[in-house]
Structure 1
Amino acid sequence: MQYVIISVTPYLQNCTLLWCDKTKEGMVVDPGGDVARILSAVQKQGVTLKGILLTHGHLDHVGGSVELAKQLEIPIIGPHKADKFWLDALFEQSRAFGFPPHEPFLPQRWLIAGDTINFGEITLEVRHCPGHTPGHIVFFNAESRLVLVGDVLFKGSVGRTDFPQGNHKTLISSIKSQLWTLGDAVTFIPGHGENSTIGEERRTNPFVDEHLL
């Protein structure tokens, strides 16, 4: 599996284009905006997009989904249904974060823990990681030892939990039960900022330090 990260929106959100080496079929994860930039990356890599994957319902992660889905006639998949209230509130999110108006939408498929996403010869495992939002999910490819974690975990930090239905204890529990268990050698792509590894964050991230908790 190959990938390229496309920085979108004023929040510099990491939209990720994933694709299968053999078939060139791919998925785009969290297209928060700047659809033209995303399409340019898709064309440059020669990828045939099969769908849009969403980790959670915040506007900087979902804002370009409807436009991209309409242009390419592909489905929107995810997040977990517990984030429906965030998608229902896209008008309010637009005003709050200074974005152009975005209409509410529903994905063609909600996801739950244990689901799988397939494209080409690639399989992504879905894990439910609430805390930042109640319906946050992550996508793990075991063969590539790569996980896309949205706003659950960052290099040296963790996701905010001061939004509606956020919960810090739940977030830390999600990180330990769903991410630490993937193995130290796994690389993660966060929703913002630089990539890191599970092992590096497990050893050094002060926000998940046992002594500080």
Structure 2
Amino acid sequence: MSLKYRIIPVTPFQQNCTLIWCEDTRRAAVVDPGGDLERIRAAVEAEGVTLEKILVTHGHIDHAGGVGTLARTEGLPVIGPHREDAFWIQGLPQQSQMFGFPAAEAFTPDHWLEDGEEVRVGNQTLDVLHCPGHTPGHVVFFHRDSGLALVGDVLFQGSIGRTDFPKGDYDTLIRSIRGKLFPLGDEVAFIPGHGPMSTLGQERATNPFVSDHRG
């Protein structure tokens, strides 16, 4: 049995919140519940799974805006991101005002993640990769058995994450993509924070920011 997923676009930014679950146990996690919690709860009910934790790739409002409320109302632990994103998470109330989002709660994760750790969802194991650049504490979740990565705003189909936010860094982001993601293998499919899925091989071949042709 394997890891299943359902992408749930949320917030005015159409962020790809993802519900993932273990087919064996029907235990689930929600990755980056940025908002529209009623839509997320409806997906959990429709799939007939039991939510056991919240996973967070990074602290931007469209990815983390609904985390505090969902954790509090459902009694769920929050796992991630890396503690370098603490300043983003503490600033969520200000971020929500700035971008015209519903009021967001700041929160403290139950567990800050480090590179090389593992996260379990039911019987399934995801590897944690610290991939800074878009934000300093950004993490990626990789399910090796099915070749699926949840990459947040590190990499997109044909593009990469913005680096003009506080503590963003272009060179660091490129190193994260080429040094951490591409070695996972060309066949690995990834769910980005926005837009359609792609594979690492397709991005290595065609992405104008990080393709092999850039040298």
The question of a shared fold, defined as TM-score above 0.5 by the shorter chain, is answered with yes
2:111 aligns to what? 109
C-alpha deviation, 1:100, in angstroms: 2.2
C-alpha deviation, 1:211, in angstroms: 5.2
Is the partner of 2:145 in helix, strand or coil? coil
Match of 1:181 among 160, 180, 183: 183
CA shift digits 1:49-69 (9 cap, x unpaired):
110000000010011112211
Match of 1:18 among 17, 20, 33: 20
C-alpha deviation, 1:209, in angstroms: 3.4
2:153 is the alignment partner of 1:151: yes
C-alpha deviation, 1:37, in angstroms: 0.4
2:64 is the alignment partner of 1:62: yes
2:125 is the alignment partner of 1:119: no
Is the partner of 1:163 in helix, strand or coil? coil
C-alpha deviation, 1:71, in angstroms: 2.3
Distance 1:70 1:36 in 2: 15
1:76 aligns to what? 78
2:8 aligns to what? 6
- Between 1:126-135 and 1:92-101, the stretch displaced more is 92-101
Distance 2:191 2:88 in 1: 22
> Would you say the 8 A contact 2:16–2:195 is kept in 1?
yes
TM-score, scaled relative to structure 1 = 0.97
Distance 1:209 1:188 in 2: 16
2:37 is the alignment partner of 1:35: yes
Q: Gaps (5+ residues) in structure 2?
A: none
Q: RMSD of aligned C-alpha atoms?
A: 1.0
Cα pair distance change 1:212/1:119, threshold 3 Å: closer
Distance 1:127 1:105 in 2: 22
> Would you say the 8 A contact 2:68–2:104 is kept in 1?
no
TM-score, scaled relative to structure 2 = 0.96
Distance 2:12 2:111 in 1: 28
1:87 aligns to what? 89
Match of 2:202 among 197, 200, 203: 200
Distance 1:62 1:24 in 2: 24
- Between 1:38-47 and 1:102-111, the stretch displaced more is 102-111
Is the partner of 2:165 in helix, strand or coil? coil
Q: Gaps (5+ residues) in structure 1?
A: none
Total equivalences in the alignment: 213
Identity between Structure 1 and Structure 2 (%): 58
1:133 aligns to what? 135
Return structure 1 stretches of 4+ with deviation > 2 angstroms: 209-213
Is the partner of 1:44 in helix, strand or coil? helix
C-alpha deviation, 1:5, in angstroms: 0.1
C-alpha deviation, 1:105, in angstroms: 1.3
